Amino acid sequence: TLFVRNLSQQVSEAVLRETFGKCDVVERVLFRSFPGRASEYFAQVDFRTSAGVTEGFKLSGTPILGVTCQLSVMDPGSKAMMKQVWETREQQLLPPEEEAPHPSEPQGVQADYMRRFKEAEEDKRLRTVHIAGLPEDATEEGLRLLCKQLGEVLDLRMDQNG
């Protein structure tokens, strides 16, 4: 699945099928609005195979009906929702301003360290991808090559089932 943002108002399912059909068989095209923003929308393009996602992702930055599209493998709607949930959770965990220890006090230093640690862990979690159902002959090199098109691969681990 690829998610297409920054779409022209005139874009249609047929236009997206024609654009991405060169990459692989397009099984489904859905138009969805961003949470809380009914006037802004994006498209979800489902391909028959992962090769379609890989090839389709290469079209990021190309114009569709004169508007430069942005492609992602992450659902932009869920990304906004996750950010909102995270910010709400953080606000609930923070003590009120008058109760918060000063950053130079021992409790303040510890709280600041814990906050940074939690942010780093959450950032890592949000950048981690789990891929299941790989063929037994899949190699680490092949997986790195596939994932490299989506961004820098910092770490890779392949677990065997059974």
What is the spatial distance between Cα 135 and Cα 24, in angstroms, rounded to a whole number? 20
What is the spatial distance between Cα 6 and Cα 46, in angstroms, rounded to a whole number? 18
Angle (CA) 37-41-47 rounded to 5° is 145
Query: What pLDDT is recorded for position 96?
Result: 54
Query: What pLDDT is recorded for position 11?
Result: 93
> Is-contact 49 10, C-beta < 8 A?
no
For 25-35, the pLDDT digits (tens) are 999 999 988 77
What is the spatial distance between Cα 158 and Cα 46, in angstroms, rounded to a whole number? 26
What is the spatial distance between Cα 156 and Cα 144, in angstroms, rounded to a whole number? 8
The SS3 of residue 118 is helix
Domains recognised in the chain with CATH numbers: 2-74 (3.30.70.330), 94-154 (no CATH)
Cα torsion 143, 138, 47, 71 to 10°: value is 0
- If one compares 121 and 92, the residue with the highest pLDDT of the two is 121
- Is the pLDDT assigned to residue 95 strictly greater than 60? no
The SS3 of residue 51 is helix
Tokens coding 102: 């000063």
- If one compares 44 and 120, the residue with the highest pLDDT of the two is 44
For 9-45, the pLDDT digits (tens) are 899 999 999 999 999 999 999 998 877 676 778 899 9
